Amino acid sequence: MGIELTDRQRELRTRARAVARSVLREARAAEQLATAEERFLATRPAYEQLIAAGFLRACLPTADGGDNESLLDTAVLMEELYAENPSVALTLLATVLGVQPVLAGGDQEQRKRLLAPFLETSGAPLAAFCSTEPGGSANPAAPPPGEGVRTRAVRAGDQWVINGRKKWVSSATGWQRDGADLLTVLCRTAEDAPPGGGISMLAVVNPSGVTLDRVIETSGYRAHLLPEFTFHDVATPAENLLGAEGGGLPLAGASFLGATAVVGLLGVALLRAAFEHTLHFARTERRGGTVPILEHQAVGYALADAKTSIEAVRALSLRACAAVDAGHPARVELAGHAKVFGSETAVRVITDLMRVVGVDSYDDLDPLNGLLQDALVLPLFAGGNLGVRRRALHALLLNPDYDSLGTI
C-alpha cells in the first residue's frame, strides 16, 4: 500500500495551511479568556471561516454532496489545521465524527435529510457523537452485574424518548447551551435483549431537553468545549433510528474507525509545531555560551530523533488511512497501531524537546507547554489506548487465524 498524495490533495493541503496560518493562529488568543464557555464561543468566528472555506464539506463524501473522496483527504486537512490551533480543529473534527453514524448506518433518505446543514458553506453547524458516559464506556456491552451503556431510550408511539447522561462529548451542548445541531446518541433501547444487542443509535436534530451539568476544565484544548450533560425526556422521531434496532455497537465501531487512524496525524501536527519551535530556539539561543546550542551534538541529535519520529508516525498514519479507504483486511489493526504509536510518540517526543529548551519550556508563555498539554489527551480519547485500542489489538492476536504478515 504505497502512499502518494494526489494533486487535489496537495492543493487541499496548501489551501488548509494558508487558512490555518491566517485564521487559526490568530484565534489562539481565545485561550486567554476566563471561562471555558467564553473561550469556546470566542472561537466561533474562526470556525465559521473554516466552514466558509469548505473544510467541513471537504470531510463529507462526494456521494452525499460533499467534497471528500477518501479518509486521506481528511487526514491531510486535519494535520494542517491541528498544527496551528488544536482547539478549533478539534471542534471541526468532532463535528465530522458526529455525523459518522449517519454516514455509516443511515439510509439514503436519512443521509440526505440529516447531512444537509453540514454541506452548507455558511454558519457554524455542530454535530456530536454521544457515546462516552460518566463512569467510563470501555465496556458498553457488559452483562449484569455490569452496567454497560446506561443512557436509555423508550419507544413512545412514533418517537423515541431518551434519558441519561453523557460526558466528554465535544460541543454537544452547542455554542450557547442550546444543543448541537445534530446529536448521534448511543443508547439502550431494549432491557430484555442480550447486553450487546439491546443498544441502538439514534439521531437527534436540534435537541430540546439537553441540559449542561458542567463544562470540564482541561489542561489542554483550552478553547474547545467538553461538556457533561443530561438528557431529560429528549424526543426524536422513530425515523431517526440509524441502522437496525439493537445494532448500535457495531455502528459505533464503524463510525470510530476513521477517527482512530486520524489520531496519529493529530500527533504529527503537535509534533510539527513543537519541532519548529525547538529548532528555531536551538538556532538562535546561546544560553550563555559562544555558539547557538544547535551546534552541540546532544541538541542536534535530539532534534534529529524528533524528526525521525514525525516521519515515522506520519507514514504509519497515512498508511492506516489508506487501508481504511481501500477496505484492506488489516485496516482495523493498522488504525489501532497508528492511534497508539502516534499518540504516545507525541507525548514522549514533546517531552524530549522540552529538555532541549530547558526550564523555560515549563512557562505558560512557551508553546511547548501548551503543546504537551494538548498531546497528553491523545492516548486517552477516541478509544483509550489501554482500555480500548490495545485490547482490540490483543483480541486480534488471540485469533488463531491471525496473520502477522497480513499488514504487508
The string of pLDDT tens digits covering residues 315-346 is 999 999 999 999 999 999 999 999 999 999 99
pLDDT score of 192: 86
| Per-residue pLDDT, 19 | 97
Q: List pLDDT tens digits, range 366-408.
A: 999 999 999 999 999 888 999 889 999 999 999 999 999 999 8
DSSP state of 388: I
Cα–Cα dist 218/407, whole Å: 37
Q: What count of other Cβ atoms lies within 10 Å of the Cβ of residue 282?
A: 21
- What mean pLDDT, rounded, does the chain reach? 95
| CB neighbour burial string for 238-264, b if at least 16 within 10 angstroms, e if fewer | eebbbbebbbbbbbbeebbbbbbbbbb
pTM: 0.94
Three cell numbers written together for 349? 517526543
Alpha-helical segments (H) within 199-330:
248-284, 297-326
**pLDDT 10s digit of each residue in the chain, 408 long?**
457 899 999 999 999 999 999 999 999 999 999 999 999 999 999 999 999 999 999 999 999 999 999 999 999 999 999 999 999 999 999 999 999 999 999 999 999 999 999 999 999 999 999 999 998 777 888 877 788 899 999 999 999 999 999 999 999 999 999 999 999 999 999 988 887 889 999 999 999 999 999 999 999 999 999 999 999 999 999 999 999 999 999 999 999 999 999 999 999 999 999 999 999 999 999 998 999 999 999 999 999 999 999 999 999 999 999 999 999 999 999 999 999 999 999 999 999 999 999 999 999 999 999 999 999 999 998 889 998 899 999 999 999 999 999 998
- Among residues 288, 222, 303, the alpha carbon closest in space to that of 35 is found at 222
Would you state the pLDDT for residue 194?
Answer: 84
Query: How does pLDDT run across 236-279, given as a tens digit for each residue?
Result: 999 999 999 999 999 999 999 999 999 999 999 999 999 999 99
pLDDT, position 274? 98
Q: Residue 15's pLDDT is what?
A: 97
* C-alpha to C-alpha distance for 214 and 225, rounded to whole angstroms: 10
Cell numbers placing 44: 466561533
Q: What is the pLDDT of residue 264?
A: 95
Residues 80/53, Cβ–Cβ less than 8 Å: no
What integer pLDDT is reported at residue 282 of this predicted model? 97
How far, in Å, are 279, 313, 349 from residue 39 at the CA level? 30, 31, 28
Q: Which domains does the chain have, with CATH numbers?
A: 7-125 (1.10.540.10), 128-246 (2.40.110.10), 250-398 (1.20.140.10)
Give the pLDDT confidence score for residue 148 in this predicted structure: 85
Q: What is the rounded CA–CA span in Å between residue 245 and residue 204? A: 16
Helix 7-19 and helix 71-84, axial crossing angle in degrees, nearest 10: 20
